[in-house]
Amino acid sequence: MYGIFWTFKEEYLRRFGVFCFFLFLCFPTYGEEWFRSDPAGLPLEALPRLVALREDYGLLIQPVAPGVLLKRLPQEIRTEVEAELLLSGFGEERILYHGGTEYQRLLTIRDSGGHPRLSYRERPGGTAFWERYDGRGLLTEERRWSAGAQDEWIAYQYSGEQLVQAQGLESRNGTVLWTDRYYYERTGALRRIDRQYTDQTQVPLSVRVSRNPQDTLGAYGADQKPPVEASSLAKADVPSTRYTTDSKGRVVTETRYDPSGQVVEELRNTYKDNRLSVTLRLVGGDSYRREYAYDTAGNRVEERDYHGELLERTLKKMGNQEVEELYINGKAVLRTIWRDGIKISEERIIFSSKDHP
């Protein structure tokens, strides 16, 4: 009788354990929330854990102790904020999964009022950055680093709640590499941004504009375009770049100047139906034009490249397949087919001698 009871007990415990394991897989633990997400890490729909992990992008949001994030900070920053945030802050962790695999992670500490005070992001490959905010939730300092690359420090200054200056630093209290100054209309709308480089070797490839504080996990907006107008401040013996944008914040022109103030290159963008339709690049008397076409869903399906008036390249997209053709004197000479970014065929196109000019 005792043996029968023990056998029954073992079978019961085994089945109960399997049942508990199934519940763990399907449903979140206390405080966890799972969502279907977009590539930017925005929660779209609450889902069970297993279902979320089967989505193209799944997102986990869960509470964490502030000390977990503080341990990842540089010692000098930790010393400044540790006492305050351990006393009144609460932490949140967001993990974005792509195809069931962890893609990137965001840790945020908020104060008792719910304002972000510190955040830390990391991505595969050793890229990470942290951001520090003041008591109003305004971004005041950030640091970015990646494997094999020099750290980048950026400090922000405000007048009231209006950003007036950003500086790129060699280290936290080190040499200033560049300074961005922000100018506004009387209405408070951003008018332009001027950048001045302190090192002649710093060639401005783009104007860096501060992001608005956000908790999304998407691509880091280090080079987001300004909403009205931006330029790098011309300075003797220093190259510069000027951007202009339309009322929707879209870049209309980008002009690069050499140290003497002469135009080196100009890029002009044309928009139609809220989409980029043509880019025109002017370099040394030559013009290069790219035209874009879209389907009814707004997906880009075709590109056409011209040098002057001669067609040089076309790219047509059909689902996961792309067909690229190269041209000489307006005649197709090479056709390449790509599928999911992998070249699957390449064909030389033979044309008769009468096709030659």
- Mean pLDDT per segment of 10 residues, for the chain of length 357 residues? 50 52 47 86 88 91 80 70 69 88 84 81 76 87 73 87 88 81 71 69 40 32 38 50 75 81 88 89 90 88 91 89 88 85 77 50
Q: Which two tokens mark 109?
A: 């500490």
pTM summary value: 0.49
The predicted structure's pLDDT at residue 174: 76
Residues 2 and 63 in one domain: no
Domain count of the chain? 2
CA distances from 17 to 4, 12, 27, 48 (A): 20, 9, 15, 20
The predicted structure's pLDDT at residue 235: 46
Residue at 116 is within a domain: yes
Residues 41 and 88 in one domain: yes
3-state DSSP assignment of residue 345 = strand
Q: Which two tokens mark 199?
A: 């090192």
Residue at 52 is within a domain: yes
- Relative to beta strand 300-307, strand 275-283 is unpaired
The predicted structure's pLDDT at residue 214: 31
Residue at 308 is within a domain: no
Q: Which domain holds residue 103?
A: 31-122
Map 126-193 to HEC letters: CEEEEEEECCCCCEEEEEEECCCCCCEEEEEEEECCEEEEEEEECCCCCCEEEEEEEEECCCCCEEEE
The answer to whether the Cα torsion of 188, 192, 194, 195 is positive or negative is positive
Phi-psi region of 318 (alpha: psi -120 to 50; beta: other; left: phi over 0): beta
How far apart, in whole angstroms, are the C-alpha atoms of residue 325 and residue 304? 10
337: nearest Cα among 319, 318, 324? 324
Residues 20 and 49 in one domain: no
The predicted structure's pLDDT at residue 185: 62
- State phi, psi for 176 to the nearest 5 degrees: -80, 125
The predicted structure's pLDDT at residue 230: 43
Burial zone of 104 (CB within 10 Å; 0-12 exposed, 13-18 middle, 19+ buried): buried
Residue at 156 is within a domain: no
Residues 37 and 19 in one domain: no
The predicted structure's pLDDT at residue 228: 42
Q: How far apart are the first and last CA of the chain?
A: 101
Residue at 3 is within a domain: yes
Residues 21 and 78 in one domain: no
Residues 17 and 94 in one domain: no
Residue at 329 is within a domain: no
Residue at 258 is within a domain: no
* Contact indicator for 67, 109 with CB cutoff of 8 Å: no
Residues 19 and 66 in one domain: no
Residues 83 and 55 in one domain: yes
Residues 20 and 38 in one domain: no
Residues 17 and 69 in one domain: no
What counts of helices (H) and strands (E) characterise the chain?
4, 23
The Cβ of residue 210 has, within 10 Å, a number of other Cβ atoms equal to: 19
Residue at 261 is within a domain: no
